[in-house]
Structure 1
Amino acid sequence: MQDRPALELTRPTLRETDYGFFGPDSPTWKVWTHPTALIGFQRAVTLEHFDPGLTAAVADLGGIYSDPRGRLDHTFAYFLIAAVGDGRTAVSAADHLLRVHAQSTGIEPISGKRYSANNPASQLWIHITGWHSVLKCYEVFGPGPLDPDEEQQFWAECVIAAGLQTCREAEVPTSRAEVREYFAQVRPTLCVSERARRGMHYLLYTPRDRGLTLWAGARAVAPAAVATLPRWMRELGGFDQPRLLEAGYIPAAQALMRLAGARPELLEQLLPRLIGPMTADLYRQHRRGGVPQNPATVSVAQARERYAEQRTPA
Structure 2
Amino acid sequence: MRGRGGDVVGTGTEEGRGDPGLFGPGSVTWQVHADPMMWVAGVRALYFQALLPRAVRGVMQNSDFRKDAWGRLMRTAGFVGTTTYGTAEDAERAGARVRKIHRHLQVTDPDTGERYGVDEPELLLWVHCAEIDSYLHVARRSGFRLTDAQADQYIAEHRTSARLVGLDPADVPGDRARLAAYFEKMRPLLAAGPEARDVDDFLRRPPVHPLLIPARATLWRRVSHLAYASLPPYAHELYGRPAPTPAAVTRGLRFTGTVLRCVPARVRWQLPPKHILRAMSRLGPGSRPAPYRIGSRTAILDRPGRAQRGDGGDSARCRSRGRPG
TM over 0.5: yes
Call closer, same or farther: CA 1:75–1:60 in 2, change over 3 Å: same
Given candidates 209, 215, 237, the residue that maps to 1:235 is 237
How many residues get paired? 280
Matched, 1:102 2:103: yes
Equivalence for 2:10: 12
Q: Which residue of 1 aligns with 2:198?
A: 198
SS at match of 2:115: strand
Amino acid at match of 2:10: P
- Alpha carbons 1:224, 1:250 under 8 Å: kept: no
Match in the other structure for 2:88: 87
Stretch deviating more after TM superposition (13-22 or 55-64): 13-22
Listed one character per residue, the Cα deviations across residues 76-129 of structure 1 (whole Å, up to 9, x for unaligned) are 111222223221000101101111111111212244322312111111111111
Q: Which amino acid aligns with 1:232?
A: Y
Q: Write the distance in 2 (CA, Å) between the matches of 1:211 and 1:128.
A: 37
Contact persistence 1:6–1:71 (CA under 8 A): no
| Deviation of 1:182 (Å) | 0.1
Contact 2:6-2:80 at 8 Å conserved across structures? no
Letter in 2 for 1:167: L
- Shift in CA distance, 289/142, structure 1 to aligned 2, threshold 3 Å: farther
Partner of 1:47: 48
Distance 2:267 2:257 in 1: 12
Write the letter of the residue equivalent to 1:186: M
Q: In the alignment, is the contact (CA less than 8 A) between 2:107 and 2:115 conserved in 1?
A: yes
TM-score normalized by the length of structure 2: 0.77
Evaluate the alpha carbon distance shift between residue 242 and residue 7 of structure 1 in structure 2; reply closer, same or farther with a 3 A threshold. closer
Partner of 1:223: 225
Paired amino acid for 1:212: L
**Higher alpha-carbon Rg:** 2
SS at match of 2:283: coil
Q: 1:61 to 1:51 in 2, by over 3 A?
A: same
Counterpart in 2 of 1:184? 184
Task: Provide the rounded CA distance (Å) in 2 between the counterparts of 1:143 and 1:219.
Answer: 23
Unaligned runs of at least 5 residues, structure 2: 286-298, 300-325
Structure 1: stretches of 5+ with no match in the other structure: 272-276, 297-314
* Alignment-derived partner of residue 300 in structure 1: none
Over the aligned positions, Cα root-mean-square deviation in angstroms equals 2.7
Matches for 1:56-67 after TM superposition, within 5 Å: 56-67=57-68
Are the counterparts in 2 of residues 105 and 115 from structure 1 also a CA contact under 8 Å? yes
Matches within 5 A, 1:26-175: 26-144=27-145, 146-175=146-175
Q: Which of 261, 275, 282 pairs up with 1:282?
A: 275
Query: How many angstroms does 1:34 deviate by?
Result: 0.8
CA distance in 2, matches of 1:230, 1:210: 34
Q: TM-score with structure 1 length normalisation? A: 0.79
Do 2:7 and 2:79's aligned partners in 1 also have CA atoms closer than 8 Å? no
Q: How far is 1:62 from its partner?
A: 4.0
C-alpha change, 1:103 and 1:27, in structure 2 (3 Å) is same
